[in-house]
Structures are given as C-alpha cells and as structure tokens.
C-alpha cells in the first residue's frame, strides 16, 4: 500500500523535490527530541518532521543499552516520518564545559596553536585526552588581546557517546553543543536585536546563561538555579509533595488569573498566585543577581551597551507568567522562546 504523499513524491521531478537536511537529535534529561527541516527548490526552509519521545528509563540507563536506544530511535524515525538516518547530534550538557580564554596573537603562530597551548596549562592530564574546539569572540585590532569561548570534553566521553549512537543505527554527521545551537536559534529570530541578548536556559536540575552581543557568543555558564530548587522551596513552605507543587504552579501560573473567570474563582486563584510568588521571590532574586553579573561582564567584553533583552527557554518557560515576573524584576524585556 502506498500513500498519496508517497505517490506524489515518486512522481515529482528530482530537481523540484525538497532537500531534506540531517536530523537534529538531542537527548535531554528525560526525552529524545528529533527534528528535520527541508529546503524547497525556491530556497524556502520549512519543517519536515519532528518527534519527542519519553525515555523508558533514565538517560544514563538508556545510553548503557544500545539495543533499547535503537528501538526508541527507530520508533521516532518511523512515527515522525523522517528521511534518512544522518544526524547532527547534540552533546549532553554534562558531557562538556565551556570557558572564556583571553590570549594575544603571536607572530607566525596560528590562533589554534595559541589557544591549544593555553588549554594545556589549564587542563589536568595530557591534552590528547580531550576534545577541544573554540569560537573566536573579539578581535578589535591585529595585535590586540583576543577572547575565545572554548568547549572541552573528555575524549573518552565523546568517543563512547558516538559509538553508542552509531550502535543505535545513526550516522553522525556533526556534533553540536548547546550554547552554539542557542546562538544560531536566537540570531535567526526576526526580533533579534544587535545589542545584548541573554538567554536563560532553565533545566530541571541546572540552568545556563548564554550571552550574545548581536551574533557574537560572549559567555556560557551554569548557574545554581533550577526547577527543582523552585519546587523545593514550595514543598518546604507548604509541606506538600513535589508533584503537588508542580501541579499548583501549572494550574495557577505566576501571574493573576484570567479576567474571564468568575469573581470568586478569580480571587481564589489570585490568592494562590500571591502565595506562590512570595515563596519563590528569593529564588528569583538570586537569578536576577546572576543576570546582572552577566550583563556587566558582557558590557565590559563588548566595549559598549546598546539594547538589552532576555529570552527564556526550558522548564521555567513553561511556567505561565514567569517571563512577566522576570521582566518586572530585571526591568528588561523578557520573551519566552
């Protein structure tokens, strides 16, 4: 049996068929995410397929069982309607770290060699035990000090991850890391400013701040802020379970309830909102302190100011009203991505 879509694809001349790109694969803490885009003959790029599947067990357990991982991958490819098995693979955030490195160019020595020598001094063990890549950030003059964002991962961790994904039947075309992917996504948005852009990527157990100046990546750092910390504060104060706390936030949100509700319901929901905000405010203040430090660092590195905006993504982005709370506390525009 053949579908109308498959029949149309067979009858379409090759030059007019959309060109499918590789499949983007991200193994988050709890789910396998897959996405594939296609470019038409006119040059327009559109979504071809997407799929998100929950793990049957923890991510660590799944990566230790290639056959089980392959079953999950095959299910995603089949149900999502993906084409091919070539992927761009996102490295798990705990598999690498990034650091800022200042260096001066040297005569007859490439920047690659200079950065590599600096990293030899900073890392434990032999340099060959690591996979290293970097992104140049600033170079105001040929002989001026330069800045680079360097990504470092233990070689064994990278090769093991690649072997596991190949055992799952995937052909890995490239590896990607979070801050670079976030930069690419953010700069593709039509509302992107040329000023300072802070992306707050909130996770279940950890969060990251990624700072851009226009299209330049200035900083990527982990911070001690997470959904678990917020829920723990609610559990301690209200003496409820984590699931009950999460349910309360999802029901009431972090802003006054809709004006379309009856008055008695609206007043009750507003009371819950006020209680949640009062309990969570100290945690949000810690986040605001981190954002202030990030903008101060960016202003020094970028040698200037300009507009400043914040994008929110991850776990906290799904908490209704979190962007409004952060906007009121930072006095900056905050947009949920």
Q: Could you tell me the pLDDT band of residue 162, with boundaries at 50, 70 and 90?
A: very high
pLDDT score of 165 more than 60: yes
- Cα Rg, the chain, nearest whole Å: 23
Q: What is the mean pLDDT of residues 117-136?
A: 90
Q: Could you tell me the pLDDT band of residue 105, with boundaries at 50, 70 and 90?
A: confident
Q: Could you tell me the pLDDT band of residue 135, with boundaries at 50, 70 and 90?
A: confident
Rounded Cα distance between 282 and 277, Å, is: 9
- The more confident residue out of 69 and 274 is 69
* 22 touches 88 (CB < 8 A): yes
Rounded Cα distance between 315 and 336, Å, is: 11
pLDDT score of 296 more than 50: yes
pLDDT of residue 1: 46
Q: Could you tell me the pLDDT band of residue 215, with boundaries at 50, 70 and 90?
A: confident
Closest CA to 200 of 282, 122, 292, 66: 292
pLDDT score of 266 more than 80: no
Q: What is the mean pLDDT of residues 261-281?
A: 66
- The more confident residue out of 5 and 114 is 114
Q: What is the mean pLDDT of residues 163-183?
A: 91
pLDDT tens figures, 312-329: 998 899 898 899 999 999
Q: Could you tell me the pLDDT band of residue 267, with boundaries at 50, 70 and 90?
A: very low
Q: What is the mean pLDDT of residues 219-232?
A: 92
pLDDT of residue 140: 55
Beta-carbon contacts of residue 289 (< 8 Å; ≥ 6 apart): none
Closest CA to 276 of 305, 306, 297, 256: 256
Percent of the chain at pLDDT exceeding 70: 86
Rounded Cα distance between 317 and 249, Å, is: 12
* 105 touches 114 (CB < 8 A): yes
pLDDT of residue 5: 47
Mean pLDDT over the full length of the chain? 85
Rounded Cα distance between 328 and 317, Å, is: 16
Q: Could you tell me the pLDDT band of residue 305, with boundaries at 50, 70 and 90?
A: low
Q: Could you tell me the pLDDT band of residue 265, with boundaries at 50, 70 and 90?
A: very low
Closest CA to 205 of 30, 330, 48: 30
Q: Which of 1-5, 37-41, 126-130, 187-191 has the lowest mean pLDDT?
A: 1-5
Q: Could you tell me the pLDDT band of residue 192, with boundaries at 50, 70 and 90?
A: low
Would you give the DSSP letter of residue 331? T
Strand partners, 196: 213, 308
Separation of CA 9 from chain center: 34
pLDDT of residue 257: 47
């Amino acid at each position: 049996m053949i579908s109308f879509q498959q029949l149309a694809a067979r009858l379409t001349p090759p030059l007019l068929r959309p060109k499918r790109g590789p499949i983007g694969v991200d193994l988050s803490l709890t789910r396998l995410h897959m996405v594939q885009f296609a470019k038409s003959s006119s040059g327009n790029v559109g979504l071809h397929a997407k799929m998100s599947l929950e793990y049957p067990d923890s991510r660590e357990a799944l990566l230790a069982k290639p056959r089980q991982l392959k079953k999950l991958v095959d299910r995603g490819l089949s149900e999502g309607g993906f084409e091919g098995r070539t992927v761009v693979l996102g490295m798990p955030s705990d598999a690498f770290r990034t650091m800022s490195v200042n260096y001066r160019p040297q005569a007859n020595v490439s920047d690659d060699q200079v950065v590599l020598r600096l990293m030899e001094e900073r890392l434990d063990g032999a340099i060959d035990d690591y996979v290293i890549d970097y992104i140049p950030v600033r170079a105001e003059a040929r002989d001026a000090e330069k800045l680079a964002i360097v990504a470092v991962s233990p070689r064994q961790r990278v090769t093991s991850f690649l072997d596991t994904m190949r055992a799952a039947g995937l052909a890995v075309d490239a590896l990607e890391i979070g801050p670079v992917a976030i930069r690419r996504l953010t700069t593709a948005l039509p509302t992107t400013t040329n000023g300072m852009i802070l992306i707050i990527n909130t996770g279940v157990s950890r969060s990251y701040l990624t700072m851009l100046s226009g299209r330049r990546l200035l900083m990527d750092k982990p911070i001690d802020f997470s959904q678990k910390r917020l829920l723990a504060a609610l559990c301690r104060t209200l003496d409820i379970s984590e699931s009950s706390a999460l349910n309360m936030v999802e029901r009431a949100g972090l802003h006054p309830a809709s004006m379309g509700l009856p008055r008695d319901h609206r007043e009750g929901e507003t009371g819950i909102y006020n209680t949640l905000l009062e309990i969570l405010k100290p945690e949000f203040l810690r986040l605001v302190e981190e954002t202030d430090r990030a903008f101060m660092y960016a202003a020094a590195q970028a040698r200037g100011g300009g507009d400043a905006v914040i994008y929110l993504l991850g776990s906290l982005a799904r908490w209704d009203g979190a962007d409004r709370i952060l906007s009121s506390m930072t006095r900056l525009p905050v947009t949920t991505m």
